[in-house]
């Protein structure tokens, strides 16, 4: 009865976006569901021609699907490369053998290279349910991964996708572990490194939970969705690029694990090391500098945790044949002025163009990181990197290189400007004593970043700065009045976002903050 083609269900595309999780829809009166004994939320193997995936079954009422049809969510439809009307075969999936290795890890055993490779390759093939991925991540948390397991996990993640190879002997890269709004040093560092003759084929991600990823920012200045061939051409011509990494399928396991880790709020050291290094190794890097901002509302909250992470990054990198160095930086407050794709791009341009209004803190971080990178790659003498980087920036060589990279990527453009603004004013005199990075990022996201490229905020104050009542603290930018209002409401509800010490330097009681502080709109709804 399984070989009779005409009784197989007909595939129907269901325009349902469930991210990476493939969903199969069957009617409650479906003959195949009954005869195969599938229940709601069963795992079902869906096959067509020589392609197969495992999907989660959702049972639907008869009004949602014609008789004899099986619905497939967007990701399932694409993974199977289906066309409307094709017949599909449904069956019980073979047991996933590597789940027993996942359970070994849950029960505290060390996994060997083959076992970790099997787990990662089954995860990438879509054979794990999200709950099973969650169990693997949990079992690896709390320092339960040995150094050797981290090495094997990183290697397995590299092997899970494509791997780029470059002709030069040294391929440099930089990465920031994240958590700091506005810390957009990459375009400047790439420009300086490439101007100095280094090869830096930088692939970046879009924002996952932040108001902007490097790819989102760069996209306001030039195309970033480059095919591998175009990426090679840009790098061959200019020595560097700032492209979106998604097209290259580098360490796809990482994207899947990150999605589940975010839901759990667990970002364990071993997973973080494997995540960062697998992307870098897959991108073909040999010398990698990692920026670890440390602060109470940054991702890494103590110097001690940063030092431990640095040690693991260097150790695992060395075991896999790449040189990794770490720069621990100040993560107590946002960097630059802009937060959001276009606003951060403006800061980047101001630094590259040596404009007098360029944010000094962003410029300084770019020079420190670029200097370290020049030294790491032996392009500068030890101790001379910072000075060399500054010369390249001040001379306009970095700016020219950046323009050339933009042109090679498809043409430079000006970042868009948001039509709606709102000035948040200080409701008192005082000295800025603390800034919550996460709340600041939330305001920018509620204003529409990163989907709306022009949305976000200009953050105008710094720790220790004295402000007078009525002076602007930030300017919120949005593409629509509704989004502006949403961001403003959130900002109003969170006066603890920016705290002020009084004359004596002590913090005001947040309960005492007037929730109806004056919020004067200026330049509203104008371009």
Phi, psi of 76 (to 5 degrees): -65, -45
Could you list the residues that contact a copy of itself (CB under 8 A)?
1, 14-19, 21, 25, 28, 34-37, 40-41, 58-64, 99, 103, 106-108, 129-135, 137-139, 141-142, 260, 263-266, 445-446, 448, 451, 482-483, 485-486
Residue 228 or 451: which CB sits closer to a copy of itself?
451
Structure tokens belonging to residue 68: 């004899």
Report, in Å, the least distance between residue 388 CB and a copy of itself.
Answer: 43
Residue 103 or 233: which CB sits closer to a copy of itself?
103
Give the C-alpha separation, 153 to 115, whole Å: 10
Sheet holding 430-435, edge to edge: 466-467, 430-435, 498-501
Report, in Å, the least distance between residue 505 CB and a copy of itself.
Answer: 31
Distances (CA, A) of 345 to 216, 244, 336, 413, 492: 9, 15, 11, 11, 27
Report, in Å, the least distance between residue 286 CB and a copy of itself.
Answer: 35
Structure tokens belonging to residue 399: 């700016």
Question: What is the biggest distance separating any 2 CA atoms in the chain, rounded to whole angstroms?
Answer: 84
Q: Of these residues, 255, 267, 291, 388, which one is catalytic?
A: 267
Strand (E) positions, 64-158? 69-72, 89-91
Report, in Å, the least distance between residue 455 CB and a copy of itself.
Answer: 11
How many C-beta atoms surround the C-beta of residue 354 within 10 A?
14
Residue 378 or 525: which CB sits closer to a copy of itself?
525
Residue 37 or 505: which CB sits closer to a copy of itself?
37
Q: Calculate the dihedral angle through the C-alpha atoms of 498, 527, 351, 400, rounding to the nearest 10 degrees.
A: 160
- Asked if residue 450 has a cis previous peptide bond (ω within 30° of 0), the answer is yes
Report, in Å, the least distance between residue 249 CB and a copy of itself.
Answer: 20
Q: Which residues contact 507 (CB under 8 A, 6 or more apart)?
A: 433, 434, 499, 500, 501
Residue 14 or 276: which CB sits closer to a copy of itself?
14
Give the C-alpha separation, 151 to 145, whole Å: 10
Report, in Å, the least distance between residue 438 CB and a copy of itself.
Answer: 11
DSSP, residue by residue, 364-399 = HHHHHHHHHHHHHTTSS-TTTHHHHHHHHHHTTHHH
Helix pair angle (186-195, 360-376), 10° resolution = 40
Is 516 catalytic? The answer is: no
Report, in Å, the least distance between residue 93 CB and a copy of itself.
Answer: 13
Give the C-alpha separation, 122 to 433, whole Å: 49
Residue 37 or 321: which CB sits closer to a copy of itself?
37
Across the strands, what pairs with 23?
Answer: 56
Residue 125 or 463: which CB sits closer to a copy of itself?
125
Tokens 């879009």 -> residue: 206
Judging by DSSP bridges, how do beta strands 466-467 and 89-91 pair with one another? unpaired
Positions annotated as catalytic residues are 267
């Amino acid at each position: 009865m399984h070989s009779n083609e005409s009784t197989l269900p007909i595939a129907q595309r269901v325009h349902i976006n469930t991210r990476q999780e493939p969903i199969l829809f069957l009617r409650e009166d479906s003959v195949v569901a009954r005869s195969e004994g599938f229940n709601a939320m069963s795992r079902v193997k869906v096959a067509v021609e020589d392609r197969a995936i495992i999907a989660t079954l959702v049972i639907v009422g008869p009004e949602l699907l014609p008789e004899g049809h099986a619905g497939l969510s967007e990701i399932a439809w694409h993974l199977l490369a289906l066309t409307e009307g094709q017949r599909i075969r449904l069956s019980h999936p073979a047991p996933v053998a590597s789940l027993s290795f996942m359970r070994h890890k849950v029960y505290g055993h060390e996994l060997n290279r083959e076992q970790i490779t099997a787990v990662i390759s089954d995860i990438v093939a879509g054979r794990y349910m999200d709950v099973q991925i969650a169990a693997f991540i949990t079992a690896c948390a709390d320092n339960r991964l040995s150094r050797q397991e981290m090495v094997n996990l990183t290697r397995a993640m590299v092997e899970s996708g494509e791997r780029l190879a470059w002709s030069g002997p040294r391929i440099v890269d930089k990465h920031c572990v994240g958590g700091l709004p506005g810390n957009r040093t990459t375009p400047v560092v790439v420009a300086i490194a490439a101007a100095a003759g280094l090869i830096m084929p930088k692939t970046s991600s879009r924002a996952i939970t932040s108001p902007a990823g490097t790819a989102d920012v760069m996209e306001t200045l030039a195309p970033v969705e480059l095919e591998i061939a175009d990426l090679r051409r840009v790098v061959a011509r200019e020595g560097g690029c700032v492209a979106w990494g998604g097209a290259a399928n580098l360490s796809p396991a990482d994207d899947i694990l990150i999605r589940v880790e975010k839901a759990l709020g667990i970002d364990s050291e071993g997973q973080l090391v494997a995540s960062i290094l697998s992307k870098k190794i897959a991108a073909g890097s040999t010398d990698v500098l990692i920026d670890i901002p440390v602060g109470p509302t940054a991702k890494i909250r103590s110097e001690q945790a940063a030092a431990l992470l640095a040690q693991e990054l260097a150790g695992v990198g060395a075991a896999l044949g790449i040189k990794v160095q770490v720069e621990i930086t100040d993560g107590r407050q946002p960097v630059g002025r802009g937060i959001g794709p276009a606003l951060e791009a403006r800061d980047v341009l101001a630094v590259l163009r040596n404009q007098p209004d360029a944010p000094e803190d962003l410029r300084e971080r770019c020079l420190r990181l670029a200097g370290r990178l020049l030294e790491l790659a032996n392009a500068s003498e030890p101790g001379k990197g910072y000075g060399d980087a500054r010369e390249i920036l001040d001379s306009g060589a970095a700016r020219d290189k950046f323009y050339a990279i933009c042109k090679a990527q498809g043409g430079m453009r000006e970042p868009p400007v948001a039509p709606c603004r709102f000035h948040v004013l200080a409701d008192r005199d005082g000295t800025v004593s603390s800034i919550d990075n996460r709340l600041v990022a939330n305001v920018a996201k509620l204003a529409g970043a990163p989907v709306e490229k022009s949305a976000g905020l200009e953050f105008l104050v710094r720790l220790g700065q004295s402000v007078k009542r009525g002076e602007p603290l930030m300017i919120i930018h949005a593409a629509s009045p509704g989004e502006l209002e949403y961001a403003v409401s959130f900002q109003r509800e969170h006066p603890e976002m920016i705290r002020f010490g009084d004359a004596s330097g002590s913090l005001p009681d947040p309960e005492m903050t007037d929730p109806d502080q004056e919020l004067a709109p200026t330049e509203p709804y104008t371009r």
